[in-house]
Amino acid sequence: MLPTSNSSPSDKTNRFALLFGTLDGSIGYIAPLAELTFRRLQSLQKKLVDDVPHVAGLNPRSFRHFHSNGKAHRPGPDTIVDAELICHYDMLPFEHQVEIASQIGTTRSQIISNLSDLALGTSFL
């Protein structure tokens, strides 16, 4: 059990994640999020897929789909937030951050708070 930031020692929460390795040698993890945070970050992710230039032109929706024998399988559940993509939000100009936040029905400060909570929640990795 690890304490969260700005909390008393008696206010501890369990944090856990699934750490995995892939066939190409990369390492990743899956960690749980609170429902409201997940919904907000998922909306942000969907917006950023269209608004942020992607590395080497690889669109995250199609680039991360599983392919076998050259055939694309149907996409999995839409229940995972791509932390690598949503971290690009901080790199956008301030005005663009405010505009995207209002388009998904929230504020910039709330998104920044959720991103810092995400960083804190996975800081033990």
- Identify the architecture of domain 34-121 in CATH: Orthogonal Bundle (1.10)
Q: Residue 44: is its pLDDT beyond 90?
A: yes
Percent of the chain surpassing pLDDT 90: 27
CA 64, chain centre distance (Å): 14
Select from 113, 120, 38, 18 the least CA-distant residue to 82. 38
Predicted confidence at residue 107, as pLDDT, reads 95
pLDDT, position 88: 86
Confidence class for position 2, pLDDT limits 50, 70, 90 = very low
Residues 6+ apart with CB under 8 A from 58: none
DSSP assignment of 8-45 equals -TT-EE----EEEE-TTS-EEEE----HHHHHHHHHHH
Q: What does the block give as tokens for 112? A: 């920044």
Top-confidence residue, 11 or 33: 33
Range 94-103 contact pairs with CB under 8 angstroms and sequence separation of 24 or more:
96/51, 100/44, 100/47, 100/48, 100/51, 103/47
Structure tokens at 93: 């100009």
At 108 the pLDDT is 96
**For residue 27, what are the β-bridge partners?**
21
How far apart CA 32 and CA 95 sit, in angstroms, is 30
